[in-house]
Amino acid sequence: MTEASVKTIHVPLEGREYEVHVGPGLLGRSGALIAPLLRRPRVAVVTDDTVGALHLETLRLGLQAQGISMTALSLPPGEATKCWAQLERTTEWLLEAQVERGDIVVAFGGGVIGDLVGFAASILRRGVRFVQIPTSLLAQVDSSVGGKTGINSPQGKNLIGAFHQPSLVLADTNVLQTLEKRDFLAGYGEVVKYGLLGDAAFFDWLEDRAPDMAGGDEAARIHAVAHSVAMKSAIVARDETEQGDRALLNLGHTFCHALEAATGYSDRLLHGEGVAIGCALAFELSARLGLCAQETPSRVRAHLSDMKMKADLSDIAGDLSDAEALLTLMAQDKKVKDGKLRFILARGIGQAFITSDVPRQTVLEVLQDALARR
């Protein structure tokens, strides 16, 4: 594919606007794309051991092509890295690497690296600029765009952090080829979320083309990533700090966070898998409340099953808590406001909305019935 097949999405935040480039070969062109941001020809890159082993050399060559030197720190892969100890290690390393206020830090990895390094950049010297180079599908379509950064606490995920927008995002679709199938499909949970929350035509397109996309069709991948980013950009532009509409991006997440907690944040359930199941449950709840057609939840589940994804609680191996315990876990979600659970429900595919007006008993019944299907 040529440069012409790279799509660019503008994130129009006044004073903090930036571009997201989506397409093949962006690591090789990273020097040319990052150079306009630099005051001196050097960057500090933070990655993880898995991504570093596969792709750091390609990035180094891409930067070198424009005379930009690179110093790199590699962290252990996995969610446990989003912690105080690794944040301290990263910020100390950035200071030792003499990163100055005017320099650029590069977050090169999946959602864990993007969140941790973005947060480190937000507090280093009271804030330095950073570039996101997301390498997982989940990070390309969601976490690298919109400026949410942070780490986990023993109290819960993403509870410590800051809004800090990147200065540029390079989503190189070539790197998706090295993802394990399961990780790719987990990221797809976030892609399907966009169709379900706000774009029925995109969901139709996914029903038709997502199997090709999962099979490696490059044009389909570029379209799916770029369309997801464009939807996210529009929402973030309306509501950067999640006072309203941005919460739509949490479709499926209240159920998901309870399921992740119930499975011990282990590889029994990856985040994107939980999002997919959570979306199906959110449609189930919407149908139960008479908000959308009764057959819509089955359509959602049928698509997830076509994609060979987890679609229901029955697809989660091992023991799960009972419905009451899951509901208690849902109440710990940080989207709880004034003690009330906030849900993203839908009047149909592509028609999500935010509400706190959901009877506890109906949520309980949805969970009880889902557990009975196991």
Closest Cα to residue 63, out of 40, 94, 97? 40
Q: Measured from the CB atom, is 63 or 197 closer to ligand GLY?
A: 197
* Helix (H) or strand (E) segment spanning residue 8: strand 7-11
- Give the other-Cβ count within 10 Å of 294's Cβ: 10
Q: Catalytic pick from 19, 218, 242, 365?
A: 242
Q: Among this protein's residues, is 57 annotated catalytic?
A: no
Q: Among this protein's residues, is 232 annotated catalytic?
A: yes
Q: Catalytic pick from 55, 157, 227, 246?
A: 246
We find the least distance from the C-beta atom of residue 246 to ligand GLY, in angstroms, to be: 5
We find the least distance from the C-beta atom of residue 146 to ligand GLY, in angstroms, to be: 4
Q: Catalytic pick from 55, 60, 129, 148?
A: 148
Q: Measured from the CB atom, is 240 or 284 closer to ligand GLY?
A: 240
Q: Are 190 and 228 in contact, with CB atoms under 8 Å apart?
A: yes
Q: Catalytic pick from 164, 250, 284, 303?
A: 250
Q: List residues binding ligand GLY (CB under 6 A).
A: 142, 146, 148, 246, 249
* CA 280/CA 285 separation, integer angstroms: 9
Query: Is beta strand 7-11 parallel, antiparallel or unpaired with respect to 18-23?
Result: antiparallel
Q: Catalytic pick from 126, 180, 181, 373?
A: 126
For the residues of 332-367, what is the DSSP string, one character each? TSTT-BTTBPPEEEESSTT-EEEES---HHHHHHHH
Q: Among this protein's residues, is 126 annotated catalytic?
A: yes
Can you read off the two tokens belonging to residue 249? 């991006």
We find the least distance from the C-beta atom of residue 153 to ligand GLY, in angstroms, to be: 18
We find the least distance from the C-beta atom of residue 321 to ligand GLY, in angstroms, to be: 25
Q: Measured from the CB atom, is 52 or 146 closer to ligand GLY?
A: 146
Q: Among this protein's residues, is 308 annotated catalytic?
A: no
Q: Measured from the CB atom, is 7 or 246 closer to ligand GLY?
A: 246
We find the least distance from the C-beta atom of residue 38 to ligand GLY, in angstroms, to be: 27
We find the least distance from the C-beta atom of residue 235 to ligand GLY, in angstroms, to be: 8
Q: Among this protein's residues, is 55 annotated catalytic?
A: no
Q: Are 314 and 367 in contact, with CB atoms under 8 Å apart?
A: no
Q: Among this protein's residues, is 190 annotated catalytic?
A: yes
Q: Among this protein's residues, is 152 annotated catalytic?
A: no
Can you read off the two tokens belonging to residue 168? 């540029």
We find the least distance from the C-beta atom of residue 281 to ligand GLY, in angstroms, to be: 18
**Which ranges of the chain would DSSP assign to H, the alpha helix?**
30-34, 49-64, 84-96, 111-123, 137-138, 181-198, 200-215, 218-238, 253-262, 271-288, 296-306, 323-331, 360-372
Q: Measured from the CB atom, is 23 or 118 closer to ligand GLY?
A: 118
SS (H, E, C) 179-214: CCHHHHHHHHHHHHHHHHHHCHHHHHHHHHHHHHHH
Answer positive or negative: Cα dihedral of 68, 166, 130, 53.
Answer: negative
Q: Among this protein's residues, is 257 annotated catalytic?
A: yes
Nearest residue to ligand GLY, by Cβ distance, number only: 249
Q: Among this protein's residues, is 158 annotated catalytic?
A: no
Q: Catalytic pick from 79, 190, 240, 260?
A: 190
Q: Measured from the CB atom, is 142 or 284 closer to ligand GLY?
A: 142
Q: Among this protein's residues, is 223 annotated catalytic?
A: no
Q: Measured from the CB atom, is 94 or 249 closer to ligand GLY?
A: 249
CA within 13 Å, CB half, 267: 3
Answer positive or negative: Cα dihedral of 71, 72, 73, 79.
Answer: positive
Query: What amino acid positions are annotated as catalytic residues?
Result: 126, 148, 190, 232, 242, 246, 250, 253, 257, 271
